[in-house]
A and B are shown apart, each in its own frame.
Chain A
């Protein structure tokens, strides 16, 4: 299962996203990020607040414009100005699940409208009956009762609302779904429900996910490959178990050491590594992004690369 044989659904090369700041230089949220997402996998993107992970997701769905770089979907560029039919295809095939179930649904609209909104836009149904049937089908797929369609969002719990959000994305029959911290705002026991739902749907429909999170333990459970992002740059990318077993970049290591484990004995004995960016000396040589082992990429200058290679040997 080497990378060459799998189809790259999404390719991001040198992506750079800036935000205008009043009276000054633009703030660079994402700086030169490159990665590929293969069909059928769950790609995890991990970082802390302000790291730029949400921005990357939003750039792919074309909510945030890219200042530089290329985003390709099935080989075709989708950032910047694109022809209308490609835009329609992107709306159809790439969907997003948002973080806060309390803010991501229109409070004044019924669930029926919320879920069908995408259908109305792409006119992807034959008649009213067909549309209703599609809504019912998708509600059942996410485990909601059919009578929920006539109600308003405030009548539902956080977990149910998040499932409505999933239904809304699912009804478009997408190929690629970006889940932006879909469970961070939910209670612990409800998280499991939503995670299970996402896994089931992936198996049933052959979806490809980009799972954005700050919670490494969730990502470890659900993702096939993980990218770690720090202040707008991806510092390490590897298969999940590979990353957890042999983390190379000091930021990755500090992140891993800080994950809380539900085991009192382990927790009491652990020591937390603090990441200090000044441990890198990039004054003489800027860091570059390289594949240090098959499927395992790291950001560093030649000196650090040599060190990492020594570690893996």
Chain B
């Protein structure tokens, strides 16, 4: 593990909405290493989709990257201005799988054509060669009788199958990075498990680097090597999956984990956080999570915490890790997890 293949530093993304300016991403930084699977976890409105859209230049027309840098293959993606610059990256080097397969596919064309078109465009393959390759890819994503299903239309597939087709289109060009934006949220649990397995096996086979966006911590535990937790446009904690699940440090991560019913004790109330995420139109002073944090320190309202190191791979943006901060006990469920981790680590 040496240099990251994608490195975002202090990215600020703003949107112009109703005459006002909204800061959707507030100086977020991220490193992506080759072959790994990084999950970005957060709730709706935290900015995880917006952040990854900057990697492929698909921000809405009223949004822009205000400052920061996104280094990929020696170029700064944040500085790209024209569509032409993005053409060599989007779909070719960085591909995306979106949440809703129904709207991601063109209902008027066969799925085979949709995959083939990508091959012809980006890889310059001829018709026959492209068709053969397409059938091969369909087989790879687990669609039975690919020869026959090549000429089927999206509405002839079930939800899970459609998502496989979308994944096929995404990997058709051998991209370096695959961004999966909540690809299984709309699917049933059993189908979700199968799709996750498919993504994992494709990653192994093709050597993909994966960015997985989700709000479902169970999915994160399944797919991710490393996890970045996002809140109000900022990455507030990141580390390996085991570090985040077994030894979380940020109060928001605590809240997220302890509010899961899987970790709840029947009969006792689940740990929950009051209130809603902050208004991103106004400037946020200090830690964005402070107003909802019953254990907030005064400094949380004054100054934004820097990253504190918990281990060479685990960092969290919370003043609680400052040596001067009082000792705060995480919720019971987290303590139980930490105890288990400590035992296994030994």
| A and B in direct contact, judged by CB atoms within 8 A | yes
Chain A residues close to B by CB (< 8 Å): 48-49, 157, 159-160, 187-193, 195-196, 199-200, 214-218, 220-222, 254-255, 257-268, 272, 274-275
Does B309 have its Cβ within 8 Å of any Cβ on chain A? Answer: no
User: How many A-B pairs fall under 8 Å by CB?
Assistant: 117
- Nearest CB on A from B155, distance (A): 16
- Nearest CB on B from A151, distance (A): 15
Contact status B218-A261, CB under 8 Å: yes
Contact status A262-B262, CB under 8 Å: yes
Q: Which residues of A contact B269 (CB under 8 A)?
A: 196, 199-200
Contact status B276-A157, CB under 8 Å: yes
Q: Which residues of B contact A254 (CB under 8 A)?
A: 190
Complex alpha-carbon distance, A259 and B216, angstroms: 11
Complex alpha-carbon distance, A261 and B216, angstroms: 10
Interface stretch, picked from B87-95, B173-181, B252-260, is B252-260
Contact status B256-A255, CB under 8 Å: no
Contact status A262-B260, CB under 8 Å: yes
Does B58 have its Cβ within 8 Å of any Cβ on chain A? Answer: no
- Nearest CB on A from B110, distance (A): 25
Q: Which residues of B contact A267 (CB under 8 A)?
A: 218, 221-222
Q: Which residues of A contact B224 (CB under 8 A)?
A: 264
Contact status A259-B218, CB under 8 Å: yes
Q: Which residues of A contact B299 (CB under 8 A)?
A: none
Contact status B189-A266, CB under 8 Å: no
Contact status A258-B189, CB under 8 Å: yes
Contact status B273-A189, CB under 8 Å: yes
Contact status A221-B266, CB under 8 Å: yes
Chain B window 171-198, contacts with chain A (Cβ cutoff 8 Å), 1 for yes, 0 for no: 0000000000000000011101110010
Does B242 have its Cβ within 8 Å of any Cβ on chain A? Answer: yes
From B43, B261, B262, A222 is in contact (CB under 8 Å) with B261
Contact status A272-B193, CB under 8 Å: yes
- With both beta carbons as reference points, the residue of chain B lying nearest to A219 in the complex is identified as B261
Highest count of chain B CB atoms <10 Å: which of A189, A268, A272, A274: A189
- Nearest CB on B from A218, distance (A): 5
Complex alpha-carbon distance, A78 and B302, angstroms: 60
Q: Which residues of B contact A274 (CB under 8 A)?
A: 190, 194
- Nearest CB on B from A31, distance (A): 20
- Nearest CB on B from A67, distance (A): 26
Chain B window 240-276, contacts with chain A (Cβ cutoff 8 Å), 1 for yes, 0 for no: 0110010000000001110111111010011111101
Highest count of chain A CB atoms <10 Å: which of B44, B219, B257: B44
The 10 A-B residue pairs with the shortest CB-CB distance, nearest first, are A260-B218, A192-B259, A192-B272, A221-B261, A48-B188, A192-B270, A187-B43, A272-B193, A258-B193, A267-B222
- With both beta carbons as reference points, the residue of chain B lying nearest to A193 in the complex is identified as B272
Contact status B262-A272, CB under 8 Å: no
Q: Which residues of B contact A258 (CB under 8 A)?
A: 189-190, 192-193
Q: Which residues of B contact A199 (CB under 8 A)?
A: 269
Complex alpha-carbon distance, A196 and B274, angstroms: 12
Contact status A49-B241, CB under 8 Å: no
Q: Which residues of A contact B192 (CB under 8 A)?
A: 258, 260
Q: Which residues of A contact B257 (CB under 8 A)?
A: 262
Q: Which residues of B contact A159 (CB under 8 A)?
A: 276
Contact status A195-B270, CB under 8 Å: yes
Q: Which residues of B contact A188 (CB under 8 A)?
A: 43, 215-217, 256, 259-260
Given A267-B218, A268-B222, also A255-B270 (CB < 8 A): no
Contact status B219-A260, CB under 8 Å: yes
- Nearest CB on A from B313, distance (A): 14
Given A157-B276, A189-B43, A189-B273, also A262-B263 (CB < 8 A): yes
Q: Enumerate 27 A-B pairs (CB-CB under 8 Å) in ascending A order.
A: A159-B276, A187-B215, A188-B43, A188-B215, A188-B216, A188-B259, A188-B260, A191-B259, A192-B260, A192-B261, A192-B270, A193-B274, A195-B261, A196-B269, A196-B270, A258-B190, A258-B192, A259-B189, A259-B262, A261-B262, A262-B218, A262-B245, A262-B257, A262-B260, A264-B222, A264-B242, A274-B194
Contact status B264-A221, CB under 8 Å: yes
Contact status B189-A48, CB under 8 Å: yes
Q: Which residues of B contact A160 (CB under 8 A)?
A: 276
- With both beta carbons as reference points, the residue of chain B lying nearest to A221 in the complex is identified as B261
Q: Which residues of A contact B189 (CB under 8 A)?
A: 48, 214-216, 255, 258-260
- Nearest CB on B from A256, distance (A): 10
Q: Which residues of B contact A275 (CB under 8 A)?
A: 190
Complex alpha-carbon distance, A274 and B262, angstroms: 22
Given A193-B273, A264-B245, 14 further pairs, Cβ under 8 A: A191-B261, A192-B261, A196-B269, A221-B262, A221-B266, A222-B266, A254-B190, A257-B193, A259-B189, A259-B262, A260-B189, A260-B218, A260-B221, A264-B241
- Nearest CB on A from B116, distance (A): 30
Q: Which residues of A contact B276 (CB under 8 A)?
A: 157, 159-160
Complex alpha-carbon distance, A180 and B237, angstroms: 35
Complex alpha-carbon distance, A294 and B221, angstroms: 36
Q: Which residues of A contact B271 (CB under 8 A)?
A: 192
Within 8 A of A (CB), among B33-69: 43-44
- Nearest CB on A from B201, distance (A): 13
Contact status A189-B256, CB under 8 Å: yes
Contact status B262-A217, CB under 8 Å: yes
- Nearest CB on B from A236, distance (A): 15
Complex alpha-carbon distance, A112 and B266, angstroms: 34
- With both beta carbons as reference points, the residue of chain A lying nearest to B337 in the complex is identified as A263
Q: Which residues of B contact A259 (CB under 8 A)?
A: 189, 218, 262
